[in-house]
Amino acid sequence: MTVPSRLAFGLALGATSTALCMSVLAGWQRGGWLAERLVWVAIGVVLVIGAHLLPALIRDAPIPVRATGSLLWVACLVTACYGHAVFFVLAQEHAGERRASTVMAVSFPPTGRSLTVVMSERANVTAQLAAVYAKRCTGDCRTWDSRRVTLVAKRDALDAEADDVRRDEVARDRVTVLRDALRADPVTSRLAALLGMTTTHVDLLSGLTFSAVLEGVACLLWTIALRSSPLPASATAVTPPEVALQSETVTNLTRVTQSAVTVAAAVTPRHVSDSVRHEGVTDDDVTQLTRDVTAGIVRPTVSDIRRHLGCSQSRAAALRRQLASPPA
């Protein structure tokens, strides 16, 4: 496996592991009972592995198998992206809940009554005060004055209570708005405002986009990692002129070897000349060399003879002349 293939294999393994983790978490959250969760997890794992490995596995298959596999691959890719989108949406919701929980809860004093009840009672007091003002004081006005003062004080108390209720409601609304704003991702909320869409739609589209990119990268990396390794340079096919040259060289070498073997077979130990004996060559050396050349162990050249016997250059040359000389 080449270095790019090893790198592609490592990246593909990381991408598939990430996708499997996402599918497991999404399947676990989508199920209710334990058996349902396990089935959802198994389905997600199978779909992710199929989406990642099918293009590489059916690459060299027959056309009908590739056509069927392509359709199944598209189905696996779509369903796997759907599962990843579930993970992204749920992850955004969980992150929003954690951000919203950072807002301190404001403790509001319990009023005991709603604004509607307070305003209804104030309306009754106002009607009674109007009736008091409608009467004229003809005798002792102390009773009339006390009645008027009591109703005015009660109306003022109800106004103050209504203001407190309104203030509490405004504070609660402010906290609610802040928590709702923190539940949405900052980038998502700004992008939704820019595109004129809701944050929910932007979350879904972003989840599908991330899923498609992850699945596409994983499929491409597995296709690269599982492709056939290229042949080494020494095993590549040569051009026709090189083939002809190699064939001619082999033929010439065969002819030379056969000629040498023929000559060596005709040489006998009794034909060793005096000059050869002067070089330190004995009949046994010639016999052994003749036998080795005949058996194809060594070629009848000076360098091969010297390498084979471990002798000097002059001795190897003498043995070569002895082999090449015709018999007496």
pLDDT one-digit tens code per residue, 83-108: 899 898 888 888 888 887 877 655 55
Beta strands in 136-182 (DSSP E): none
Find out whether 211 and 80 touch, Cβ atoms under 8 Å: yes
259 compared with 36, residue with greater pLDDT? 36
Confidence (pLDDT) at 258: 55
Confidence (pLDDT) at 56: 86
Return the minimum-mean-pLDDT range out of 136-140, 147-151, 165-169.
136-140
Nearest to 177 by CA among 106, 90, 91: 106
Find out whether 118 and 161 touch, Cβ atoms under 8 Å: yes
Mean pLDDT for 27-50 is 90
Mean pLDDT of the chain: 77
Q: Could you tell me what percent of the chain has a pLDDT over 70?
A: 77
Indicate if the pLDDT at residue 38 is higher than 90.
yes
Return the minimum-mean-pLDDT range out of 43-52, 194-203, 233-242.
233-242
136 compared with 251, residue with greater pLDDT? 136
Q: What is the pLDDT of residues 175-202, one digit of tens each?
A: 778 777 777 778 888 888 888 888 888 8
Nearest to 201 by CA among 211, 216, 189: 189
Mean pLDDT for 219-243 is 61
C-alpha span between 176 and 198 (Å, rounded)? 18
Indicate if the pLDDT at residue 328 is higher than 70.
no
pLDDT band for position 261 (50/70/90)? very low
Calculate Rg over the CA atoms of the chain: 50
What b-and-e string marks burial along 45-69, b requiring 16 or more CB atoms within 10 Å of the CB?
bebbbbbbbbbbebeeeeeeebeeb
The structural domains of the chain, with segments of one domain joined by +, span: 3-104+186-225, 115-183, 240-324
Indicate if the pLDDT at residue 260 is higher than 70.
no
Indicate if the pLDDT at residue 204 is higher than 60.
yes
pLDDT band for position 259 (50/70/90)? low
Confidence (pLDDT) at 267: 44
Indicate if the pLDDT at residue 269 is higher than 80.
no
What's the token pair of residue 105?
């809860």
Confidence (pLDDT) at 18: 92
Return the minimum-mean-pLDDT range out of 41-50, 53-62, 227-236.
227-236
276 compared with 282, residue with greater pLDDT? 282
Indicate if the pLDDT at residue 234 is higher than 70.
no
pTM, to two decimals: 0.53
